[in-house]
Amino acid sequence: MFYPLEKLAKLHDGYQKAFVLESHSLLLLQMDGQRYLIENRCPHMDVPLTTAEQLPAGGLRCRAHGIAFDLPSGKAQGPLANQLDCLKQFPLAYDGDTLGVEL
């Protein structure tokens, strides 16, 4: 089932917004022209990433303890890379001028 999230015209680099759909907590982001839809949960200690800091080259830093993740791969950066789960990614879906997700 397609769930609309945002009009394409509203997306821009730096965009970052949380959504709750059914039992899913999601975070939609755009940086460097790339769009990402991830579970809004840090794999470290389950803190929401709603206010996470966008970093250059697709990085995202959780503000709770400062761990940075690579959005394209979902992996944590640095020494915890092999100890933490990856960010959970959801495939984006499009319907006309609207971006959403199939759940």
Judged by CB, which is closer to ligand FES: 8, or 45? 45
**Phi and psi of 82, rounded to 5°?**
-95, 5
Rg, C-alpha atoms of the chain: 13
Shortest Cβ 80–ligand FES spacing (Å): 9
- What span, in angstroms and rounded, lies between the C-alpha atoms of 48 and 62? 8
Determine if 64 is a binding residue for ligand FES (CB under 6 A): yes
Nearer to ligand FES, 30 or 40 (CB): 40
Cα 27 to Cα 75: distance, rounded to the nearest angstrom: 16
Q: Is residue 42 close enough to count as binding ligand FES by CB under 6 A?
A: yes
Question: Which residues of the shown chain bind ligand FES in the complex (CB under 6 A)?
Answer: 42, 44-45, 47, 62, 64-65, 67
